[in-house]
Amino acid sequence: MSVTKDPAVTGTPHARTLKGSLGVTAIVFMVVAAAAPLTVVGGAAPLGILLGNGVGFPSLYAVSAVILLLFAVGLAAMTRHVPKPGAFFTFVGYGLGRPAGLASAFLALLTYTAIQVSVHGYIGYILQVTVTGLGGPDIPWYLYSLAVIAIVGFLGYRHIDLSSRVLGILLVGEVGIVLVLVIAIVFSGGEQGLSAAPFLPENVFSGAPGVGLMFAIAAFIGFEATAIFRDEAKDPTRTIPRATYTAVIGIGVFYTLASWGLVMAWGPDNVLGVAAEDPGAMIIVTTAKYLGVVGEVIINVLLITSMFACVLSFHNVITRYQHSMSNASVLPNVLGRVHPKHLSPHTSSVVQSATAAVLIVVFALLGLDPVLQVFTWFAGVATLAIAILMAITSLAVIVYFARTRQDRRLWNTVIAPALGFLGLIGSAVIIIAYFPIMVGDVDADGVPVFGGVSIALLALVVIFPLIGLVQAAVLRSRRPAVYATITDAISDSSASTVPAAIPPDATGV
């Protein structure tokens, strides 16, 4: 298969191909940074305790890690046999057909755009509060958000190695301060002594575990993006699976340990009350209690850098999704260009920066609250979308290997993906049921109802895949040659190996 080059840059060695030498550590840093460990511990964990199952919330990180590890087994197997960088887009296409693959591609774009713009809103708010609190000028939150978008765009425009170094430094800092805090809590013995209370059945199933699970799964968004960096990996066949397993296990262990430490810091009898007072400040108050003023200042700074690392990582993921879709001729050709010097999808990066900026301006004009609306609403959309995406991918793995027989390992290609599929579908159902709570659609008695906001946001999760299905139908009718290759996500690393895996037209897809 030949690699199609953009006419405007034909002759340039890297006209459409991403290249790099990222190892396991670099890729893990980028996807774990997307998960924003400190932001999760400081923001999602207190909310999970307060709105979810209280003392038992830390156990749900372990449950989520098991579900997602099962998903990762199938993802790793697919990565080995479908050597292409399109991730969800490509894998679903090879397993369930081109229309399903294209529908998944648009759902993935919604997922990562929603989570990125939600954090842009949050970081703008945090910067506004921090600067004002230090006696600085009271600048609107959206101006800070736009400034961050510009910085992220600059880094995303350049070589991926620059982003990986920046993310690595920021990630070490935020993980380090949380581990120091946990160690301090352990050595002090906590408020009521150290115990396994968060893992006792009566606590795990107390309160609203469904809401807790929603917050827990949301905390992992980003780990699955390892496959999108395939063309920039040193040894894709080995690097991507190892990075995927390392990311999900590392994130699961870290979140479980950190949230357990948070419960121990205040004691099982008191932690719910502390979270209720001010969930957003809980991590800062806890740090001040155990690490003093210096620790409090450090964690304030690292909360901001954690969110910056998150948006930078997701920016890199989105630009590469757009790049892969462009090379498969389902997005404008210009998005597939690669910078001759930086070897980055620079045009795609610029477009993504512009998209984020436009959305922030729209939210500002609508007068949306950066935390209660921009962050909460769109983080909820991303959480539901990613659960559906991973469930569909698990199903695609099972179908792909059942048809091709390229890998006969039962655990890797059937059992683990099937268990992951069941866990993810169950999680998606729970998220939908509790979705109104996330966006504030409740009646006078606090009972969740599907009002205008809930329906509008949930509609996005339906509309975006439909766009992909419609485009697939149009391409099949009017541009059959393009339709035949829409899940190829052309790249040099995949040009020489094209598995006969996409169902032929005779199957109807």
Distance CA 380, CA 198 (A): 25
H or E element in which residue 252 lies: helix 236-266
Q: Specify the higher pLDDT residue, 112 or 486.
A: 112
Give pLDDT, residue 308.
84
88-92, 248-252, 353-357: segment of lowest average pLDDT: 88-92
d(CA 364, CA 121): 10
Domain ranges of the chain: 7-430+459-491
- At residue 257, the pLDDT reads 95
Model pLDDT for residues 360-399, shown as the tens digit of each residue: 999 999 999 888 789 888 988 998 999 999 999 999 999 9
CA distance 307 to 121: 10
Q: Residue 215's pLDDT is what?
A: 84
Rounded to whole angstroms, the Cα distance separating 368 from 378 reads 12
Residue 302 has pLDDT above 50, yes or no: yes
In sequence order, which residues have a C-beta less than 8 Å from that of residue 402 and are 6 or more positions away?
413, 414
Please check the confidence at residue 498 and state whether its pLDDT lies above 90.
no
Question: Is the pLDDT score of 355 beyond 60?
Answer: yes
| Cα–Cα dist 483/101, whole Å | 11
Calculate mean pLDDT across residues 392-417: 92
Higher pLDDT, 477 or 168: 477
pLDDT at residue 232, as a whole number: 59
pLDDT digits (tens, 9 = 90+) for 200-237: 999 999 887 877 888 888 888 877 666 666 555 566 66
- Highest mean predicted confidence (pLDDT) among 44-48, 202-206, 227-231, 259-263: 259-263
Residue whose C-alpha is closest to residue 379's, from 10, 4, 43: 43
What is the reported pLDDT for 160?
58
Mean of the per-residue pLDDT values for the chain? 81
Higher pLDDT, residue 29 or 500? 29
What is the CB neighbour count within 10 angstroms for residue 196? Answer: 9
pLDDT digits (tens, 9 = 90+) for 427-451: 899 888 888 877 777 777 767 678 8
Q: Residue 34: its pLDDT value, please?
A: 66
- The pLDDT, as a whole number, for residue 488 is 55
Are 455 and 461 in contact by the 8 Å Cβ rule? The answer is no
Q: In this structure, how many other beta carbons lie within 10 angstroms of the beta carbon of residue 310?
A: 29
Percent of the chain with pLDDT over 70: 82
Terminal CA-CA length for the chain: 21
- Nearest-angstrom CA–CA distance, 390 and 413: 15
Token pair for 382: 């991303």
Q: What's the whole-number mean pLDDT along residues 74-96? A: 79
438 contacts 118 by C-beta, under 8 angstroms: no
Determine which helix (DSSP H) or strand (DSSP E) holds 410, and give its type and residue range.
helix 410-410
Is residue 341 packed enough to be buried (19+ CB in 10 Å), middle (13-18) or exposed (0-12)? exposed
Task: Please give the CATH superfamily to which domain 7-430+459-491 belongs.
Answer: Amino acid/polyamine transporter I (1.20.1740.10)
Measured CA to CA, the distance from residue 501 to residue 90 in angstroms comes to 11
List pLDDT tens digits, range 116-165: 899 899 889 888 888 887 788 889 999 999 999 999 888 876 665 565 67
Mean pLDDT of all residues in 409-417: 93
Chain center to CA of 369: 22
Q: What is the pLDDT of residues 267-291, one digit of tens each?
A: 999 999 998 887 877 888 899 999 9
d(CA 478, CA 498): 24
What pLDDT does residue 296 have? 85
Q: Which amino acid is at 404?
A: T
Task: Give the pLDDT confidence score for residue 21 in this predicted structure.
Answer: 55
pLDDT for the residue 16: 52
